[in-house]
Structure 1
Amino acid sequence: MNYKFFILCLLALPFLTSCEKQSEKDREKILNYIEDNNLNAQEGEDGLFYVIEVEGTGDTASIADEVEVHYEGFLLNGDKFDSSIDRGTPATFPLANVIKGWQLGIPKFKEGGSGKLLIPSALGYGATGTSSIPANSVLIFDVEVIEVL
């Protein structure tokens, strides 16, 4: 038996269990948010939830595309942490350069489409967070896909 492999597996077990527990907590928080706000949300890949409010009629982005979007980002308690609307100009970026939740979520909307992304922490900023987003935070984004470039 390869004892080094066995020891590595034992050391990784608490981390995997911790990630799984956080994922379950995030899912419960998101489901409560959906219920509390009477949203018609769909569950996508990897725990992402999304709400399409306006279908849109244009192209759909892929990971290889650059997109122009307007958005507002909130924590579950309603605190806004970022907004292209407040800055008065849409954000443009390669989809490959943003958090996993956006990489999975933005392609759910066509150009001209809008709605919400409800992103579990593992698809956001995870256990590290950022200066304005605490660790293990579920993120709520109101998004409008203006253009797929």
Structure 2
Amino acid sequence: MKYWEVSHKEALKRSVEAKRSNDIQEDLVATENKKIDLNLMFQNPNSCPDDISRRFLMKQKEEIYEKYNKPPTSRVQAKSSKSVTDHSSEPSSRVHTSDSEPMRDETNDSEKDDDDNDENEDDEDDDLPTQTEFLGLDDFSQSV
């Protein structure tokens, strides 16, 4: 019976260590994927050698933009419900809950129209997120 208890404790300990290792690996993969996505988002479509690659890049950018703008998946919700019950201090169990949308300018619409007319017409990238917003680095630094 003692042998069973000892082996059970060791198995639990190994299981916890493996879970932590898996969580760290999952975070690394997510960070790498965000880096790849960020590199794609900052590529200029005009620098593509042909129309096919330009269309491919634009399609990739659309998919990336949609991926980071859709609401959290059920997996993130499952993690957040676990962190509420777990109260663990591990970074993998913490979920960022603040809104990451940029703050809105409080200028009235007539002032905005005047400002928009004065600016260049090729300011298409103004609505794109910054690097830290896109990668969620502001949020990540709080959870480390």
Tell me whether the two structures share a fold, i.e. TM-score over 0.5: no
Bigger share in helix: 2
Bigger share in strand: 1
Instruction: Kindly name which structure, 1 or 2, has the bigger radius of gyration based on alpha carbons.
Output: 2
Q: Return the TM-score normalized by structure 1.
A: 0.28
Q: Return the TM-score normalized by structure 2.
A: 0.29
